[in-house]
């Protein structure tokens, strides 16, 4: 067991990338075996995406949504806000790394300042003391970094559990692991902590958007098209560091996670 825990990081990263490539190959295999109509020429993975969306909705109804409702019922709002603050603070190294890679050194300084203040005075990020002092949080990820480097988004793809994405953002998701400190740490229980953090983050995001998701599902004539459009516009806004027109888009409070 100890030797397994001690595998070098490069080997793990290679395995992750290979799995992503395998997923990509599977997607193209599915797409190649199906005939897309002209109506979906701009969405070559339409049939795959529709199938995964149906799977994700079923998993949401059976597992994620009930867990999010239970979380809201048991944990009061100040407690939920504290959990969200801790999770946001833990992501600071990834945001900082992408700030630097994009040449946004002013934003990188703010990220570093927020991490230092909230990790100390804010009790490991439980309280967003930095925000109270005028240092607002922002988010960056490797998908945004690749976009600023001129890499196109590639086809839209719906990922199991993770939801809407595209080939650039899916690749960025893997690359962000290289900026995550826990990727390089070795200690007992590390995998359990990583899995727990992923699960808690998912439940926290879902709880924050319980009403928004229901509104989207009930009001959309075509839920798939509405979700795809919202994702693409929100990502374009994030890449340009612009402002979202709330009259045009659903209010996904934590969509960037």
Instruction: Look at 245 and 100; give whichever has higher pLDDT.
Output: 100
More confident residue, 25 or 204: 204
What pLDDT shows up at residue 16?
55
Three-state DSSP at 166 gives strand
pLDDT tens-digit series, residues 138-181: 999 999 999 999 999 999 999 999 999 999 999 999 999 999 99
H or E stretch at 156: strand 156-159
- Could you tell me how many helices (H) and strands (E) the chain has, helices first? 13, 2
Which pTM value belongs to this model? Answer: 0.80
pLDDT at 38: 54
Average pLDDT over residues 34-55: 82
Where are the domains positioned within the chain? 2-74+141-239
Distance CA 221, CA 218 (A): 8
Flag whether pLDDT at 20 surpasses 70: no
* Gap between the Cα atoms of 52 and 48, Å rounded: 6
Q: Is the pLDDT of residue 101 over 70?
A: yes
**What is the per-residue DSSP string for 170-202?**
HHHHHHHGGG-GGGT---TTHHHHHHHHHHHHH
Beta strands at 163-166 and 156-159: parallel, antiparallel or unpaired: antiparallel
């Amino acid at each position: 067991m100890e030797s397994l825990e001690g595998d070098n990081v490069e080997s793990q990263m290679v395995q992750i990338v290979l799995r992503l490539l395998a997923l990509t190959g599977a997607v193209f295999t599915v797409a190649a075996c199906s005939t897309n109509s002209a109506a979906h020429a701009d969405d070559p993975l339409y049939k795959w995406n529709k199938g995964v969306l149906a799977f994700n909705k079923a998993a949401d109804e059976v597992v994620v949504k009930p867990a999010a409702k239970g979380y809201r019922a048991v944990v009061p709002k100040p407690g939920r806000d504290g959990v969200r603050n801790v999770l946001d603070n833990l992501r600071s190294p990834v945001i900082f790394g992408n700030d630097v890679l994009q040449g946004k050194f002013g934003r990188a300084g703010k990220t570093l300042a927020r991490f230092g203040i909230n990790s100390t005075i804010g009790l490991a990020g439980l309280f967003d003391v930095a925000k109270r002092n005028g240092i607002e949080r922002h988010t960056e990820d490797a998908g945004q970094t690749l976009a600023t480097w001129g890499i196109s988004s590639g086809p839209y793809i719906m990922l199991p559990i993770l939801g809407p994405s595209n080939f650039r953002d899916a690749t960025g998701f893997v690359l962000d692991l290289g900026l995550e400190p826990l990727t390089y740490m070795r200690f007992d229980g590390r995998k359990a902590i990583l899995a727990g953090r992923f699960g808690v983050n998912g439940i926290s995001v879902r709880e924050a958007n319980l009403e928004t998701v229901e509104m989207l599902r009930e009001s959309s004539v075509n839920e798939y098209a509405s979700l795809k459009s919202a994702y693409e516009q929100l990502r374009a806004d994030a890449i340009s560091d612009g402002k979202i027109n709330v009259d045009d888009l659903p209010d996904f409070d934590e969509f960037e996670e």
